[in-house]
Structure 1
């Protein structure tokens, strides 16, 4: 089974978040720092869910999200140690409190700087995929229209073409074209112009063939 990036990050995040929520209630010595971390994790939880969703769809590998995953796992180790430090050990408490504060700041910084870059990259790749789909749909539509025209010419002669009105595309082509047309509303007009020109060419060729046979 492929370990997608979102799944790896989601697992690390879930383990950390559950531990923080538990220790906030049970470890008084670090409650202030743990509450801040809990708030930060609560704020980024929707982002983690989106990472899980989109990285599965885009089939991202685990390596590119490794920095975030590693940070969350380091944070879990820091938070887990809170339950092992004695309340009266003031020096260790102070040092560990600072580490927790630094970790919280690192999480905020990572998601403020790193995630927008990943999102921008993903959006560009999605646009490329949409453009490729549009091209494939256009090729299918052109092939279907050509097949219909040539079938009419060979089976019924030039008269079968009538006024060369463009036949309606099958439902699945229409649905696909509508889904792919969100980035440009002008493509249909260009396609219709190309179809009209191609139709005129077919009509002229068919007429010439009929005249030669007479």
Structure 2
């Protein structure tokens, strides 16, 4: 018996060893024995985890004892199969059925262990959350939601105020609407451009567009990410707050993912638009957390200085071009002023500024 089989228990080790020894001996049962070997290899890490945790937690072995009993019986069956002669067709059929039944039993054990593992994980998560909630109760017995240092800075509402003069974004706005409103296959769109070209303003303008508002209604969320990215937990808590739901206490990022899926499914009867604005390359994994779920009419708009290559082919991409000189100068005139507060600036002054600085997006200086 190999060390791995012994570590799991006599029953499992005996069955695994017997199957491996019988594959070449019982030629007419070889395909079925190969299948059983593959099933056992899938089962091995699950049983090993259970036995290891039982030892660490000083728990009884009852959960694996039943498994080992079935495997001991299976080992006896395999051993008998290896002794069946090629001409004993009646026995071949009978043992073939029993081997198929053994393989199905082992696969059933895998499913049971996987379900039990998911159940135990959720029980542990619930217990941890309950303990955490108990610790954050104040003396009056009322629960307080504890935020990390940057949660309070996270918002999910769409900025409602647009600049009085916007130029050069109409074509880009139509492209975004074509992709996210009319293309059912597009669920993630990444808008890229250098800093200061108007990505955030374009995303804001898109969210406030009447057609977009009509489709997504109150399910439009605008999350500024920036270089110092908020945690997934912080964003999820603010999404709950935005929807006027009880804000959950989140233990970790896995807990946040579970609650995010619950919220999206809850409001998923209506279209959802999520904007993740100014995502830096280091925060690509944050975006990936939001694209895990397949929900109808769930659209994500990302703005970034980078194309975010790790998002792969699931993302549509649109490159926003900088303003042309004419529009840039018009905006510069609008926001700049002379010492006498006059908005009239001579052409030679404007041209000198643009030629000397080489800047195209100076209108963002008004911020």
TM-score under structure 1 normalisation? 0.52
Measured after TM superposition, the shift of residue 127 of structure 1 is: 6.7
Higher alpha-carbon deviation: 73-82 or 120-129? 120-129
For residues 11 and 128 of structure 1, the distance between their equivalents in structure 2, rounded to whole angstroms, comes to 34
1:20-169 equivalences in 2 (<5 Å): 20-112=19-111, 114-123=112-121, 124-125=123-124, 128=127
**SS class of match (1:17):** helix
**SS at the partner of 1:85?**
coil
The answer as to 2:251 corresponding to 1:183 is yes
Note closer, same or farther for the CA distance 1:95–1:19 as it changes in structure 2 (3 Å cut). Answer: same
1:38-78 Cα deviation digits (max 9, x unpaired): 11112222222212221211222122333322221221111
The aligned counterpart of 2:226 is none
CA distance in structure 2 between the partners assigned to 1:51 and 1:95 by the alignment? 34
Aligned CA RMSD, in angstroms, stands at 3.3
Q: Per-residue displacement from partner, 1:86-129 (whole Å, max 9, x unpaired)?
A: 221110111001100111011102211x2134324543358748
Q: 1:58 to 1:122 in 2, by over 3 A?
A: farther
Return the structure number with greater strand share.
2
Cα distance 1:76–1:129, how it changes in 2: closer, same or farther (>3 A)? farther
Please give the per-residue CA displacement for 1:6-50, whole angstroms capped at 9, x wherever unaligned: x89533111111111111122212112111111111222222221
Structure 1 stretches of 4+ with a deviation exceeding 6 A read 129-133
CA 1:39 to 1:116, structure 2 compared with 1: closer, same or farther past 3 Å? closer
- Higher RCO structure (Cα 8 Å, ≥6 apart): 1
Supply the distance in 2 between the matched residues of 1:54 and 1:131 (Cα, whole angstroms): 22
Please, what TM-score do these two structures have when normalized by structure 2?
0.32
Q: Where does structure 2 lack aligned partners over 5 or more consecutive residues?
A: 1-5, 136-249, 253-367
Distance across 2 between alignment mates of 1:40 and 1:109: 10
Answer whether contact 2:26 2:82 (CA < 8 A) is retained: yes
SS of structure 2 residue aligned to 1:30: helix
Check the 8 A contact 1:24/1:31 in 2, yes or no. yes
Please give the secondary structure, in 1, of the residue aligned with 2:9.
helix
- Structure 1 pair 131/9, CA: closer, same or farther in 2 (3 Å)? farther
With over 3 angstroms needed to count, the CA separation of the structure-2 counterparts of 1:119 and 1:74, relative to structure 1, is same
Distance 1:106 1:47 in 2: 15
1: CA distance, partners of 2:79 / 2:59: 30
